[in-house]
Structure 1
Amino acid sequence: MSPEGIHAGSLAAATTYLDAFEAGDVTEMADVLTDDVVHTLAMSFDGGTEPYLVLTGKDQVLGFFSDILQQVSQRDLSDRRAHAGVGGEVVFVEAGGEAVLASSGTLYRNVYVFKFECADGQVRRITEYANPVAAHKALHIPLG
């Protein structure tokens, strides 16, 4: 496959995944994930360099995001900017995020960078970066 074809497939997989998350469609999210996908939430709440959470395998990733989808009544990843790495298998997506917490109606805003590592038009690895202070304030996750 040409580099352009690889890039297009990777970009389509990343876009489909994020669109499906916004729509609350776990089935469509699943369609673009490899069975052994790894999703890492790279932000740290204790000031360290270790990730907050590493989800391994399609079932664990989708289980986690199914819970998230139930906790938020609205999701929006706006002002998306996608950038493909050399070879086209890595796609970075920057986005502003906004969600409404279903239990309280609290508005949660954050800024995200997603690194999608793809193969054959499917996502095999996602690394998610966000501001942990914004998450702490909205979700009451302890800092430090």
Structure 2
Amino acid sequence: MNDETRAPATHTGLGIAREFVRAVEAKDIEAVARTLADDARQLFMHTRSATTPDGVADVIDGRTRGFCVADMKGKREVLAYTRAIFDKFTPLLWRDHTWRVSPDGGELFFHGIGDMVVARTGQPYRNTYVIRFDIDEGRIVLMAEYGNAFMYAGLGVRPNGAEFQGLLRAMGRMVSPRLSSRSGR
């Protein structure tokens, strides 16, 4: 979709999501913090579908949902996770950025291919990501990141406290009558 033809509110949300991606790539934690609502949430949804063009379209159109493997709750946890990623990867970049904005501007999707190196081992990391951003009142309230979680787990990078808490919370989603482990919400 062409984001240039959308309403100003859409441009604002898209600008915030783009600023988040730029801040992560620049490893600028203060800039990341400025994009997040206090009650921000970041979900990590496992799906191998995000690695093909058709799979990316399926994620964006809701035909593929993935499975929640980590659930970061609150700005502090999201920032703790982000700081850990800064330490684990150098560089921390996505190639071939594409963006899609829903017609009503309510959903923003980022697609990018990771071009990263594990800092500890020098091993390349080339996961494919689709990230849905939900923006409210000028801040990110929810990010649902779709990718191959097994590829990340296979790197053998140790989770920090926030990541471990997010993994436990995702396990709780499996038995929760209120939260879904499949919806990305």
* TM-score band w.r.t. shorter chain: 0.7 to 0.9
- 1:64 and 2:77 are equivalent in the alignment: no
Higher helix proportion (structure 1 or 2): 2
Show the counterpart of 1:114. 131
1:5-49 Cα offsets, whole Å, 9 max, x none, are 1110110011000110000011100101100001000117xxxx6
Q: TM-score, normalised by structure 1?
A: 0.87
> Matched residues in 1 for 2:17 and 2:157: separation?
29
Counterpart pick for 2:104 among 87, 91, 94: 87
- How many pairs does the alignment contain? 136
SS of residue paired to 2:104 = coil
Show the counterpart of 2:69. 52
Name structure 2 gaps, 5 residues minimum: 1-5, 48-65, 159-185
Relative to structure 1, is the Cα distance of residues 119 and 140 closer, same or farther in structure 2, using a 3 angstrom cutoff?
A: closer
Choose 105-114 or 129-138, whichever is displaced more. Answer: 129-138
Name structure 1 gaps, 5 residues minimum: none
| CA RMSD after TM alignment | 2.0
1:78-114 Cα offsets, whole Å, 9 max, x none, are 1111011132131011111121111111111110000
8 Å Cα contact 1:39-1:127 kept in structure 2: yes
8 Å Cα contact 2:45-2:68 kept in structure 1: yes
> Matched residues in 2 for 1:120 and 1:89: separation?
12
8 Å Cα contact 1:6-1:89 kept in structure 2: no
